[in-house]
Structure 1
Amino acid sequence: DKADQLGDIVRRHWSVESMHWLMDCLFRDECRVRTEHAPANFTTIKHIAHNLLRRNPAKLSMTNKRLKAGWNEKFLVSLIS
């Protein structure tokens, strides 16, 4: 019925919004790149990084995984291998 359809639409919307919120908070989406293909390229790189962090089984928050990857070369290599 209509209520079920509306519920599905709202849930899909908020799943996308929650990902945008995570990307904004995790990567501090303050990138000022605005020319040619650079914005799309940076977005792709951020999505790849997000997926690599998400699939890592470490019991850390996404923010802490990102920080650890910046501080610990072995952890960074484990993310990309």
Structure 2
Amino acid sequence: MFIGHWMLPSTLDECRIRSLHSPQNFALLHRIALNALERESSFRRSIRQKSRRAAMNDRYMLSVLAAALSNSVLLP
């Protein structure tokens, strides 16, 4: 699912990752994290609120990771 540019936090503008492939790698990880937060449905709040809750609550972080991996295809 496409996440528009309006959902990216403004802290990415201040990010100092600028060498080699770091910006692309960080952008990919950030996109994966946003998609995982979007797929998690037990806590119906904004992406920002879900992100903050995941940062403070390890159990919720595990539920976000489980939601992200629930329908993924694992290669043998």
Give the TM-score of the pair, scaled to structure 2.
Answer: 0.75
| Aligned amino acid, residue 49 of structure 2 | N
Runs ≥4 residues deviating over 3 A = none
Aligned twin of 2:7: 22
Q: Decide which structure has greater helix share.
A: 1
Gaps of 5+ in 1: 1-15
Gaps of 5+ in 2: 67-76
Shift of 1:41: 0.5
Give the TM-score of the pair, scaled to structure 1.
Answer: 0.70
Shift of 1:31: 1.2
Q: Does 1:34 pair with 2:53?
A: no
Tell me: higher relative CO, structure 1 or 2? Use CA pairs within 8 A at least 6 residues apart. 2
Provide the secondary structure at the position in 1 that maps to 2:4.
Answer: helix
Provide the secondary structure at the position in 2 that maps to 1:34.
Answer: coil
Aligned twin of 1:65: 50
Q: What RMSD in Å do the two structures reach over aligned CA positions?
A: 1.6
Q: What count of residue pairs does the alignment treat as equivalent? A: 63
What percentage of aligned pairs have identical amino acids?
32
Shift of 1:24: 3.1
